[in-house]
Amino acid sequence: MVNDLSLIKNKKALAWIKEQIALCTPDKVHVMDGSIEEIRELNELLVKKGTFLRLNPEKRPNCFYTRTNPGDTARVEAATFICSKKQEDAGPTNNWMDPTQMKKKLHALMKGCMKGRTMYVIPFSMGPTGGKISRIGIEITDSGFVAANMRIMTRVGTEVLKVLGTDGEFVPAFHSVISPLEPGQKDIPWPCDLKNRYIVQFPETREIISVGSGYGGNSLLGKKCFALRIATVLSRDEGRSLAEHMLVLGITSPEGKKHYITAAFPSACGKTNLAMMNCSLPGWKVTVVGDDIAWMKLNKDGRLYAINPESGFFGVAPGTSEESNPNALRTCEKDAIFTNVALTTDGDVWWKGLTDQPPANAITWKGKKWTRGVDDPKELCHPNSRFTADISNCPVVDPAYHNAPDGVPVDAIIFGGRRESVVPLVFQSRDWNHGVLLGSSVASERTAAAEGKMGELRFDPFAMLPFCGYNMADYFSHWLSFPSKTDPAKLPKIFHVNWFRKENGKFLWPGYGENSRVLKWIIDRIEGKENSAVETPIGYLPTIESLDLSGLDIPKEDLKKILTVDVDAYLSEVQKIREYHSQFGSHLPSKLSAELDALEARLKQAKN
């Protein structure tokens, strides 16, 4: 049954793996070595099984098409738990259950759950293997889909095991679709258990157990589960680190001066598009270090340095086009996996926004034949359909992704969300603590990446609402502690942006490559350019003159609307923030309450 556990030299890892084998009783065990031969064999196996369909090799070399169960297409926040010893430590924004009770429930589901299947043991590194900020995990799964995706999204294989050694630390991450096969029963391509989906993090023991779901956000355990929910706890305990739902980009001026910026947006609000943006301003260039997660740590020089702990993109397909993100399209031209998109008759893929018109004929993400002019276009692909692609295939990958294993220095941090009103195009916080207030009060209209009513406004602090592994108010306190750990002047400047202001259904700002104009203004602020901003009650806003609008035709009335503070609307916003913060009770930091009080006082003074 066991074919290669000899690769595992770490004593704790070996003992843990053997425990899972005894509990789950797989037919086979395969420890992934990360080789090219291995992934070729795995892909072929998934094609034979029917999980993968090989796409047209002339159009999409080494690319595969797959689906998940129609009821299993997004993160399941209602089934995601932080099982700390005390409920208070999980906080009011996380689901909680006593860890002993939860493990009892999970182990009952896990017993014999891999019967008839192969157990894949995946040693993986989040971040460059052996890097100072990097960490190691081992995922066990009975899903070949997960194994193939993890091979793209993380560094997998024997090199990781060498760094782990005999007694190195790792995060144990268990996943199963928990659909055991009886003798003679044929496996289905996309198994899951809709009635028993649990995505559980145990902060004190740094463990992850995910069962019942095959969708990537619930099963690629290196991603949100490890890189955010567990890593936030590890970062808090280290004291000088942050694990954030942020892109990392480099931006270079025509003069060759480079800055690195991180930015936090809720899922499907444009992080990937910004991270790979083609600048509309002549001579400016954006390069991507990462599009989704940033691990940051204070260096000896007192500055925050960031890495992208992932090695691939798990991108939202709908809306990705030549206009919005041509670099993402180039990235997934080869060696990619497409999930829940439409399949064209010539063996290619399609999703909403890829072209102006859908294909004449296609197969929908549910496997049904579809004809243009006859069937509903909404049936073609799921709004949260995805592509998984290797970052090395990105034409604008930043050299530092490969050459700076200990991170890049962060000059600015941006927060943003999808807001049709109230929030201006861009503004700078007054200082670090005020910036933490901005992060704690991020609100955005709900997107397809999470379950719930589309368009509904919800607070999503730091874009971390579903991803913080402990009490979010204590997380605010951790952010507020950084000025005491270094020279505050060395910390990144903090900004807030909103590309999504609308009036009469029309966007007031063109977005996409034109967002480079906003980044240029941010750099002006970093470098202390005079007369680049005006002080307002909510922070420092650009003057129309300080934004480089050369070659851009936007009515001045529209510009004034997106660069003006509506005092009455913001006073109403303050009350919403205060109400949202109230749920944290005594855990809410007094410094944050003081910042909100000060904001309200400035707004009232401006009103008078």
Cα–Cα distance measured from residue 359 to residue 545, given in angstroms and rounded to the nearest whole number: 45
What superfamily would CATH give domain 314-391? Phosphoenolpyruvate Carboxykinase, domain 2 (2.170.8.10)
Confidence of residue 455 (pLDDT cuts 50, 70, 90): low
More confident residue, 3 or 382: 382
Cα–Cα distance measured from residue 325 to residue 249, given in angstroms and rounded to the nearest whole number: 15
Marked catalytic residue, from 83, 113, 192, 269: 269
Cα–Cα distance measured from residue 384 to residue 220, given in angstroms and rounded to the nearest whole number: 16
Task: Assess whether pLDDT exceeds 90 at residue 170.
Answer: yes
Task: Assess whether pLDDT exceeds 80 at residue 267.
Answer: no
For position 448, what pLDDT does the model report? 52
Cα–Cα distance measured from residue 124 to residue 166, given in angstroms and rounded to the nearest whole number: 16
For position 458, what pLDDT does the model report? 85
For position 445, what pLDDT does the model report? 73
List pLDDT tens digits, range 40-84: 999 999 999 999 999 999 999 999 999 999 999 999 999 999 999
For position 608, what pLDDT does the model report? 83
DSSP result, 273-295: HHHT---SSTT-EEEEEESS-EE
User: For the structural domain made of 5-51+75-239, what CATH number should be given?
Assistant: 3.40.449.10
For position 456, what pLDDT does the model report? 64
Residue whose tokens read 């006082």 = 601
In the three-class reduction of DSSP (H, G, I as helix; E, B as strand; rest coil), residue 58 is classed as coil
For position 187, what pLDDT does the model report? 85
Confidence of residue 1 (pLDDT cuts 50, 70, 90): very low
Cα–Cα distance measured from residue 296 to residue 132, given in angstroms and rounded to the nearest whole number: 11
Per DSSP (E only), the strands in 310-461 are 312-316, 337-339, 342-344, 349-350, 361-363, 369-371, 386-390, 408-409, 412-416, 426-428, 443-445, 457-459
Average pLDDT over residues 372-398: 97
User: For the structural domain made of 242-311+399-607, what CATH number should be given?
Assistant: 3.90.228.20
List pLDDT tens digits, range 271-312: 999 999 999 999 999 999 999 999 999 999 999 999 999 999
Nearest CA to 406 out of 523, 275, 485, 303 is that of 303
294 - beta bridge partners?
A: 244
CB atoms within 10 A of CB 53: 17
List pLDDT tens digits, range 524-576: 999 999 899 999 999 999 999 999 999 999 999 999 999 999 999 999 999 99
Residue 124 tokens, joined: 């993986």
Nearest CA to 500 out of 553, 434, 447 is that of 447
269 is known as an active-site residue: yes
Asked if 285 and 251 touch (Cβ cutoff 8 Å), the reply is yes
How do the residues of the chain divide into helix, strand and coil, expressed in percent and rounded to 5? 35, 25, 45
Confidence of residue 323 (pLDDT cuts 50, 70, 90): very high
CB-count burial class (<10 Å; 0-12, 13-18, 19+) for 66: buried
Q: What percent of the chain has pLDDT over 90?
A: 93
Q: Identity (one letter) of the amino acid at 329?
A: L
CA distances from residue 555 to 19, 323, 504 in whole angstroms, order as listed:
66, 22, 15
Domain residue extents for the chain: 5-51+75-239, 242-311+399-607, 314-391
For position 210, what pLDDT does the model report? 98
Confidence of residue 182 (pLDDT cuts 50, 70, 90): confident
For strands 53-54 and 64-66, give the pairing: antiparallel
Backbone Cα Rg of the chain: 24
Q: Identity (one letter) of the amino acid at 574?
A: V
List pLDDT tens digits, range 97-139: 999 999 999 999 999 999 999 999 999 999 999 999 999 999 9
Give backbone dihedrals phi and psi of 21, rounded to 5 degrees, phi first.
-60, -45
List pLDDT tens digits, range 483-505: 999 999 999 999 999 999 999 99
For position 322, what pLDDT does the model report? 95
Nearest CA to 123 out of 292, 291, 10 is that of 10
To the nearest 10 degrees (0 to 180), the angle between helices 590-607 and 432-440 is 90
CB atoms within 10 A of CB 404: 18
Residue 327 tokens, joined: 């670099």
For position 269, what pLDDT does the model report? 81
Average pLDDT over residues 448-472: 79
CA distances from residue 213 to 307, 310, 587 in whole angstroms, order as listed:
29, 21, 33
Task: Assess whether pLDDT exceeds 80 at residue 2.
Answer: no
DSSP result, 299-323: -TTS-EEEE---SEEEEE-TT--TT
Confidence of residue 215 (pLDDT cuts 50, 70, 90): very high
CB atoms within 10 A of CB 264: 23
